A and B are shown apart, each in its own frame.
Chain A
Amino acid sequence: MSQFVYVVVQLSVILLIAPLISGIIKKVKALSQKRKGPPVLQLYIDIYKLFRKDTVISDTASWIFRATPYINFTTALLAGILIPVSLKLTPINFGGDIIFIIYILAMGRFFMALSGVDTGSTFGGMGSSREMAISSLIEPTLLVSVFTVGLISKSTSVHDMMSTLSSIGLNIFQPVYIMCFLAMIIVIIAESSRIPVDDPATHLELTMVHEAMLLEYSGKHLALMELGAAVKQLVLITLLVNLFIPLDSLVALDNALLAIGISILLYIVKVAIVSILIALAEINTVKLRLFSVPNLAAISFILSFLGFLQYFVVGGSHG
């Protein structure tokens, strides 16, 4: 029963909040430019509208093109189930660990890249090629960061990592965590196609990465792809905030239901703060040239590696 509750809470929180992040980011960016900007809930409206529209499918495309939106969306949700939004919930029993999460997200990407090539359009191929290149540059960082945290908590399970880190309290202000945190932020920026790696607002052929793969999608398929991208972004942010900003241990209430509610509220606040941070980062940078992205990836790898080195020298400290 508790597992059923877990899945339902987990899925509904993630699905409900996912489109909000783009809204917050867009709003902050607009405000910084003295514009009013679209309403925060715009993406919800867009997605609903897309679901209600007719769908056009390229006649070159095969079944892969039709299956991809579902696969992409499901893999993102599956990763979402495995990263608890609140430690107060009993985690699910048929768990997968962080390695599984990394690879299930890669599976979504694999199909998305295939669907880009499937339509026979130039843009699709370009997007796929760039997406796969960027992901292979960023993957080592992600693995080293989560391995470092995993080594400290002696486990590769996300729930274990989160509970270990939340038990160390203020000791979280240590180079190892700060480095891994920063490295993960770069990973999130690259994986969720944000400035400076990719510009989600553009449809200019020189700069498109993620959008290029979606170019032939319309209607319900496009809605699923957009929602899938939002969920994936939220999943990565959840991993980040629940690992490195552990506040759940502060919620010490006797009433379990209330504790869960408050910790989810805390989680939403954390996510909102990270979205504002991402927005601020987007305001203050420009999109990098595609061939400067490796430098950014190298920086993120060095950050995570330095984090590992700190663990290596002094070991992970438990408060």
Chain B
Amino acid sequence: MNFIDINLHFLLMLGFYICGAIFSLIFIKNSKLGNILSNILYSIASSSGILISLFYLLSNKEYIQLAHIKSNIPFLSFKLGISNLSAYFILTLSILTLCVSIYSIGYMSQYYGKRNISSFNFLFGIFIVSLISVFSSGNMIIFLLAWEVMSLTSYFLVIFESGHTETQKSGTLYLIMTHIATAFLTVAFITTYSYTGSFDIVNNSALIPPFSKNMIFLCLLIGFGTKAGIIPLHIWLPYAHPAAPSNVSALMSGIMIKTSIFGLIQFVFVALGGGFEWWGITLLIVGSISAVLGVAYALMEIDIKRLLAYSSIENTGIILIGLGISIYGFTKGNSLLSSLALVAALIHLFNHSLFKGALFLGAGSVHYSTHTKNMEKLGGLLKKMPYTGLFFLIACLSISSMPFFNGFISEWFTLQALFHSIGISTQGVKLIAILAAAVLAMAGALAAACFVKAFGISFLGLPRSTEAHNSMEVPAPMLMGTGLLSFLCIIFGLFPNVILILLNKISLSIVKTSVIPDLKGISSFVYYPKGLDANKISPMFLFAAGVILAAVVFLVVKLINRGTKERTYGTWDCGFKELNPRMQYTATGFSKPLRIVFRAIYRPSRELQTEEGTSPYYPKTIKYVVLTQSVFEKYLYIPLTGLFTAFSGRVRRLVQTGSVHTYLLYIFITIVGLLIYYRFSNS
């Protein structure tokens, strides 16, 4: 398929994004027109992005150089190019961006006249361009530059609603954490450069001694791990995502945190040539911990967007489990396992961006219509917002990895990768892998509990506040954006091979083997250890069987109970006069059993304030607060920052005395030191 010039179209796509960004600034006076215009341009650009990456992944090209600017300064050259992996990430990004830009047309209307929408849309465009540049970067310099632009623009997008101090605080935390990540990445890149003498992302691993390789891996793990939100580096995530407007959180959670997965694959597999066994095992352990703790914290949240943010940590964990096994299999020389696990990680990444995008957009719609993110104030929304509710439900089913939805496909692959890795791995790793499988099963069940809560409390039952009672369905563009994403969740759940085929080339180029040819048909895939016919799973046929069964059941039930009536009546209210919303289970109450079971993790504290009335038995008011602490903040970050501030305070008193004489002395010592260094380095 060579009939489109990918190079040209890629630049055109970037051009559209930049045009959109600039148009948004031109129409600063008419923010409504500017908003619609730039979002339409973004949707055109992202649609072409989808096409380009699809054409690329289905063609036989291995790498396309887009631009190469050389300069006389040795390491300052810019390289842009599309590899198989970057095309896949650009595809994921473009699908999400398309839906988000359609959604934004409606969503941003709530800010008309209140906030500076044109600068928001400008930054939004630049943010996407920077993401694309990260994915298509050909050397570390441009990777780092694009990474930094991405971090900064996303920071400004997070603090868009900067009226609240809470938002500013979240933004600052995000800014600090993301720069810690950049610092570690810079160290990793410079170390690589010092051995290989090149900033290109190519396999130079033979030049790097093992010890430095391990150090580079650790730096990459911390750097990318911070962005990915692995526990315990996750603390910025539950603050930044809820603070940002929902279209931004959808992009941040859907694709921005995935840049770290891209980076890990790119640098571990390509630049470091696969590395050592313990790298994979480390990722497996880190991923398992993040998966189960992420969802465990999500379960305790009553803020719907914080819940989703924590659940992103869980899903990154699942992706890392796949990636860890893949690296482990690669170093053990079992490329089939490596390919299976890589496919698991990549397909989950894709699926997560779809359903998490839909969930964040859905949460945005809820906020748009009720002006609250607090689930304790929602309820009964399914009747007021039937479409948003339906889309949100589909995404909830997907993320809880229910069969027939795309989340199940990736969960299935990850479990199969774990299953197969137990079979081939050495002693200790077997234990880790089975525990990881158990952890994954638990995370899956907890995720189901979490999303029963998220959907059940917000969309079902009686409205818990007047805002929820008066809520209305959101405008059509918002429905379209959310609906498209949840529709794709079903499509890729029933026909997973449509997307799996695209992974063939990636798997071939990274781990030199591909499991994709083993996956046959359009909707069934075969698992290989035992080549039996029964040993496969085909979502489409099972779904058809399910639909037929349901239809038969429905008809039979109709036949048996013909002549009976159906009527509606109030829910049983235990003999009180009327059912009221306060009788319902709350979001906090829903997670109470698990809060008690896992109190060692949550360390819940409760506070009871009573105001006494005439008799101690009948208090005037009672206030009851349950708090779950973030253990990592309390025991890791707060002591660490305390230590750091104390240290820098002491250094400041010692070194920065304020006396000019001392400073002159510093300059003198520095010059002498440099002269000595110059003398000896030249000889």
- Residues of A with Cβ closer than 8 Å to B? 48, 51-64, 70-71, 73-75, 77-78, 81, 91-97, 99-100, 102-104, 106-107, 109-110, 113-114, 116-122, 124-126, 128-130, 132-133, 135-137, 139-140, 142-144, 147-148, 150-151, 153-157, 159-160, 215-216, 219-220, 223-224, 290-291, 294, 301, 305, 308, 312
User: Which of A56, A64, A155, A220 lies in contact with B561, CB distance below 8 A?
Assistant: A220
Give the segment of B54-62, B240-248, B549-557 that binds chain A: B549-557
Give the segment of B71-79, B443-451, B657-665 that binds chain A: B443-451
Residues of A within 8 A of B594 (CB): 133, 136
The answer on a CB contact under 8 Å between A95 and B442 is no
User: How far is it, in angstroms, between the C-alpha of A133 and the C-alpha of B589 when the chains are bound?
Assistant: 12
B27 at the interface (CB under 8 A from A): no
A-B pairs, top 5 by smallest CB distance, nearest first, are A125-B585, A94-B541, A117-B456, A132-B449, A136-B445
Residues of A within 8 A of B419 (CB): 147, 150-151, 156
User: Which of B444, B460, B534, B565 lies in contact with A118, CB distance below 8 A?
Assistant: B460
The answer on a CB contact under 8 Å between A59 and B568 is yes
The answer on a CB contact under 8 Å between B593 and A120 is no
The answer on a CB contact under 8 Å between A122 and B568 is no
Nearest-CB distance from B202 to chain A (Å)? 39
User: Which of B439, B530, B537, B573 lies in contact with A100, CB distance below 8 A?
Assistant: B537
Residues of B within 8 A of A135 (CB): 445, 448-449
The answer on a CB contact under 8 Å between A54 and B460 is no
The answer on a CB contact under 8 Å between A312 and B431 is yes
B535 at the interface (CB under 8 A from A): yes
The answer on a CB contact under 8 Å between B550 and A143 is no
B583 at the interface (CB under 8 A from A): yes
Cross-chain pair count, CB within 8 angstroms: 278
B596 at the interface (CB under 8 A from A): yes
The answer on a CB contact under 8 Å between B545 and A78 is yes
The answer on a CB contact under 8 Å between B422 and A151 is yes
Chain A: which residue is nearest B456 at the CB level? A117
User: Which of A113, A116, A120, A128 lies in contact with B462, CB distance below 8 A?
Assistant: A120
- With contact pairs A73-B553, A312-B430 given, residues A294 and B403 touching in the complex (Cβ less than 8 Å): no
- With contact pairs A56-B569, A135-B448 given, residues A93 and B542 touching in the complex (Cβ less than 8 Å): no
The answer on a CB contact under 8 Å between B415 and A117 is no
Nearest-CB distance from A194 to chain B (Å)? 19
Residues of A within 8 A of B484 (CB): none
Contact with A along B10-50 (1 / 0, CB 8 A): 00000000000000000000000000000000000000000
User: How far is it, in angstroms, between the C-alpha of A75 and the C-alpha of B545 when the chains are bound?
Assistant: 10
Chain A: which residue is nearest B584 at the CB level? A120
Contact with A along B584-615 (1 / 0, CB 8 A): 11000111111011000000000000000000
- With contact pairs A100-B542, A128-B456 given, residues A94 and B524 touching in the complex (Cβ less than 8 Å): yes
Chain B CB within 10 Å, residue with most, of A91, A100, A132, A305 = A132
Known: A94-B541, A136-B442. 18 other contacts (CB 8 A): A51-B561, A55-B564, A64-B460, A74-B549, A91-B534, A103-B408, A114-B455, A117-B456, A121-B584, A122-B574, A125-B456, A143-B415, A143-B437, A143-B438, A144-B434, A153-B530, A219-B561, A220-B557
Residues of A within 8 A of B566 (CB): 54-57, 219
Residues of A within 8 A of B415 (CB): 99, 143
B416 at the interface (CB under 8 A from A): yes
Chain A CB within 10 Å, residue with most, of B397, B437, B459, B561 = B561
The answer on a CB contact under 8 Å between B412 and A100 is yes
The answer on a CB contact under 8 Å between B597 and A119 is no
Nearest-CB distance from B549 to chain A (Å)? 5
The answer on a CB contact under 8 Å between B446 and A136 is yes
Nearest-CB distance from B614 to chain A (Å)? 29
Interface residues of chain A: helix, strand, loop or mixed (majority): helix
The answer on a CB contact under 8 Å between A78 and B585 is no
B232 at the interface (CB under 8 A from A): no
User: How far is it, in angstroms, between the C-alpha of A304 and the C-alpha of B408 when the chains are bound?
Assistant: 24
- With contact pairs A99-B412, A224-B557 given, residues A94 and B542 touching in the complex (Cβ less than 8 Å): yes
User: How far is it, in angstroms, between the C-alpha of A97 and the C-alpha of B415 when the chains are bound?
Assistant: 12
User: How far is it, in angstroms, between the C-alpha of A151 and the C-alpha of B416 when the chains are bound?
Assistant: 11
User: How far is it, in angstroms, between the C-alpha of A105 and the C-alpha of B123 when the chains are bound?
Assistant: 45
> B residues 150-176 with Cβ under 8 Å of A?
none
Nearest-CB distance from A176 to chain B (Å)? 13
User: How far is it, in angstroms, between the C-alpha of A125 and the C-alpha of B376 when the chains are bound?
Assistant: 14
Q: List 28 A-B contacts (CB under 8 A).
A: A51-B561, A53-B564, A54-B566, A55-B564, A55-B567, A60-B461, A63-B382, A74-B546, A92-B534, A96-B403, A97-B527, A97-B537, A99-B537, A100-B412, A106-B445, A113-B456, A114-B460, A118-B456, A121-B583, A129-B453, A129-B589, A142-B441, A143-B438, A144-B437, A151-B422, A156-B527, A157-B536, A219-B566
The answer on a CB contact under 8 Å between A121 and B460 is no
User: How far is it, in angstroms, between the C-alpha of A93 and the C-alpha of B453 when the chains are bound?
Assistant: 36
User: How far is it, in angstroms, between the C-alpha of A290 and the C-alpha of B594 when the chains are bound?
Assistant: 11
User: How far is it, in angstroms, between the C-alpha of A150 and the C-alpha of B592 when the chains are bound?
Assistant: 35
> B residues 351-408 with Cβ under 8 Å of A?
380, 382-383, 393, 397, 400-403, 408
Chain A CB within 10 Å, residue with most, of B419, B541, B560 = B419
B interface residues, how many (CB within 8 angstroms): 87
B649 at the interface (CB under 8 A from A): no
User: How far is it, in angstroms, between the C-alpha of A77 and the C-alpha of B449 when the chains are bound?
Assistant: 23
Chain B: which residue is nearest A124 at the CB level? B585
The answer on a CB contact under 8 Å between A103 and B452 is no
Residues of A within 8 A of B402 (CB): 103, 106-107, 110
The answer on a CB contact under 8 Å between B456 and A59 is no
> B residues 611-648 with Cβ under 8 Å of A?
none
Chain A: which residue is nearest B530 at the CB level? A155
Nearest-CB distance from A3 to chain B (Å)? 11
User: How far is it, in angstroms, between the C-alpha of A158 and the C-alpha of B554 when the chains are bound?
Assistant: 28
User: How far is it, in angstroms, between the C-alpha of A109 and the C-alpha of B456 when the chains are bound?
Assistant: 13
The answer on a CB contact under 8 Å between A62 and B383 is yes
User: How far is it, in angstroms, between the C-alpha of A59 and the C-alpha of B578 when the chains are bound?
Assistant: 13
Residues of A within 8 A of B448 (CB): 106, 109-110, 132, 135-136
Residues of A within 8 A of B416 (CB): 99, 156
User: How far is it, in angstroms, between the C-alpha of A157 and the C-alpha of B531 when the chains are bound?
Assistant: 11
The answer on a CB contact under 8 Å between B561 and A52 is yes
Residues of A within 8 A of B452 (CB): 110, 113-114, 117, 128, 132
User: Which of B403, B434, B536 lies in contact with A308, CB distance below 8 A?
Assistant: B434
The answer on a CB contact under 8 Å between B442 and A139 is yes
User: Which of B380, B397, B564 lies in contact with A107, CB distance below 8 A?
Assistant: B397
The answer on a CB contact under 8 Å between A160 and B571 is no
User: Which of B460, B536, B553, B585 lies in contact with A129, CB distance below 8 A?
Assistant: B585
User: Which of B434, B536, B579 lies in contact with A60, CB distance below 8 A?
Assistant: B579
The answer on a CB contact under 8 Å between B423 and A140 is no
The answer on a CB contact under 8 Å between A100 and B403 is yes
Residues of A within 8 A of B538 (CB): 94-96
The answer on a CB contact under 8 Å between B593 and A62 is no
B457 at the interface (CB under 8 A from A): yes
Nearest-CB distance from A303 to chain B (Å)? 13
The answer on a CB contact under 8 Å between A95 and B567 is no
Chain B: which residue is nearest A148 at the CB level? B434
Residues of B within 8 A of A107 (CB): 397, 402-403
Chain A: which residue is nearest B382 at the CB level? A62
Residues of A within 8 A of B597 (CB): 133, 137, 291, 294
Residues of B within 8 A of A113 (CB): 449, 452, 456
Residues of A within 8 A of B453 (CB): 129, 132
The answer on a CB contact under 8 Å between A55 and B589 is no
User: How far is it, in angstroms, between the C-alpha of A179 and the C-alpha of B415 when the chains are bound?
Assistant: 22
The answer on a CB contact under 8 Å between A70 and B550 is yes
- With contact pairs A94-B524, A110-B402, A219-B561 given, residues A120 and B583 touching in the complex (Cβ less than 8 Å): yes
User: How far is it, in angstroms, between the C-alpha of A121 and the C-alpha of B456 when the chains are bound?
Assistant: 12
B575 at the interface (CB under 8 A from A): no
User: How far is it, in angstroms, between the C-alpha of A90 and the C-alpha of B568 when the chains are bound?
Assistant: 46
Chain A: which residue is nearest B438 at the CB level? A140
Chain A CB within 10 Å, residue with most, of B445, B542, B560, B574 = B445
User: How far is it, in angstroms, between the C-alpha of A100 and the C-alpha of B535 when the chains are bound?
Assistant: 12
User: How far is it, in angstroms, between the C-alpha of A64 and the C-alpha of B397 when the chains are bound?
Assistant: 13
